[in-house]
Structures are given as C-alpha cells and as structure tokens.
Amino acid sequence: MVRMQPPAPLPAHLSSVPFTVHEAQAASLSTGRLRSSDLASAGRLLYMPAGWEFEIAGLARALSAATPGAWISHITAADLWGLWLPSWLQGSRIMHLSKPKVLPQVRREGVVGHTVLAFDDEITVFEGIRISTPARTWLDLATSLPLRDVVAVGDQLVRQPRNGLEERTQPWNTVEQLRCMLNRHPKMKGIVKAREATLLMRTGTDSAPETFLRLALTEAGLPEPELQLRVSPGDDYSPAADMGYRSHRIAIQYDGCHHLTREQQSRDNRRDEAFNSAGWRYFKFNADDLAQDFRRATNQVRLALRAA
C-alpha cells in the first residue's frame, strides 16, 4: 500500500494568509504544490490555506495584488481605515475593488467591482494594501449612504485626534481639502450629497452619535451648539462636555459604550461634578436616545433653552 506523503510546509509568510500565484512562484511553490489539499482556490490567481478564517486585511492585500490596476475601495476601505459605518454594513464579507474606467470591471465571486474616475493622490498604499485614501473613501461612500451618515464619516475625517490617545496627531483632512476633491468630480454620483455634507461637518465631534445628536438639535430648529464645551474656556485642562450652549449654561454629553469602563467613569464623574458645581444644566444622553433619533433629548434641551 502506497502512503501519500504530506505536502511540504508552506513558507511562513504564506502559511496563514491568502496569497497570489505570483507570490507562490516567488516562493518556488510548484503547480502541484498549489493543488495540495491544504490549499484552496480563492478565485483567479489567488490561493488560501484550507480552513483559513476570514480576515479582511489579509484578503484585501491579496485581492489588490492579484488585480492589476485595482485598489480596495468603498465599504472595504472604510473598514480598513477604521471609518464609521452604519450597523447594516459593519462586518460585511463582501469586498469592494475599484478600477479606472479604462480597464474592465472586476468580476470575482464575493467581490463588488467598481469602475471609477480617480486621481493618483486619491489612492495610496496602507499596510501593503493598495487602497483609496480616507477622503476618497468618504466620497465613494456618499454614493450610497444617507446624508447624516456621510456627515458623520466627514466629521471623523476632520476631527482633531486626541493627544496621547491616538497614533495620528493631525486630522486626515480639512473641510477645504475635501471640497477641493469634490471640485474634481462634478458629475460623480452622490456629489450633491457630499457637497451638502461639507456644509454640515464640524471639527469638534468625536463620534457618529455625537454628530447625529448635533444634527437632531439643529434640524429641530434649535441653535447650533458649541462643541467640546469647557467649563473654563481657554483652559485645556478644564473638563469638557461634547456640546452645549455657554450663554445659557447648558452642557450636553453623549455617553457611548466606552463610558462603561471604570477609568472612563471616573473621568466622567469628575466632569459631571465640575459642570454641576458651576451651576450648569447638564444633560447626558445614550444609545436609548439615539434609537429614538434623539426626539426626547431635543425636547428636553428645547425646554431648558426656553427656561434659561
């Protein structure tokens, strides 16, 4: 009885990620080795270890490498950059790949192909992946997301990162930079929505729910709140609320999931006490209010403004 010899081990850099046929050839893997039972085809020119568990960055890198002229875009790019996405798009395993209009559209199982006009500075390489820039990704999202979601992603692009808490020290973009990009694409689908979004974007918002709360207040006819409102203006160490109305001494805070940690709760308690001790009206809203589109929150703030 002839015993089947187990296949030779894969090179370490190919053993746990999808890879292209060109990478296989560079690693001296034969055609026969690529047909072994420990490998599976991931589509044209792509292979993956059998039993590989889906991991977006690994597949994105291999897809972009296996598709000349293409780059990761739209929802997939947003996921890789860490941009906010609505719940119905989070965790998607459908990959989005764009090509210039002069090239044929990508046709792969599990991949949505786009043919688009994109300029060289709208595409970059991030962690070995050819991908649309955060700004261009935002513009691509404007073709399908509702306006308020486009504003929320835009707020994320222009916000100032927190010193010591984030790797970046500068915003991804300014509003003016985004408008300059929009001027290059006057006929693109979603361009009107994107232009409207730039008028609604603000630099002091730290999360999508904060954006939605701010928009809810202004859409209800209330004055636009000041963002990152400190008890003592000009003092960088003074506790700050997400937004509010200084002239009315009204502060507004949205508490998301990260506020459940013990360390964050201690900071929140110090902030709450600072505003209460200074005699401010202080409102805290959460996911329950978000689920109701902040209707109750808006009414509470309206009554407080009238009473101030």
Summary mean pLDDT of the chain: 88
Handedness of CA 263, 265, 267, 273 (dihedral sign): negative
For the segment 15-32, what is each residue's pLDDT rounded down to a tens digit? 777 777 777 777 777 777
Domains of the chain by range and CATH? 12-49 (no CATH), 56-200 (no CATH), 208-307 (3.40.960.10)
Quick one: pLDDT band at residue 257, thresholds 50, 70, 90? low
pTM of the model: 0.85
**Separation CA 287–CA 209 (nearest Å):** 8
Determine the average pLDDT of the residues in 194-206: 96
Chain centre to alpha carbon of residue 275: 32
Q: What is the tens place of the pLDDT at every residue in 40-99?
A: 776 677 777 776 676 889 889 888 888 889 999 999 999 999 999 999 998 888 999 999
Confidence of residue 1 (pLDDT cuts 50, 70, 90): very low
Quote the tokens at residue 211: 């954006």
Write the pLDDT tens digit of every residue in 91-138: 888 999 999 988 888 778 788 999 999 999 999 999 999 999 999 999
For tokens 């974007």, what's the residue?
201
Which residues are within 8 A (CB) of 52 and not within 5 positions of it... i.e. 6 or more apart? 16, 17, 18, 40
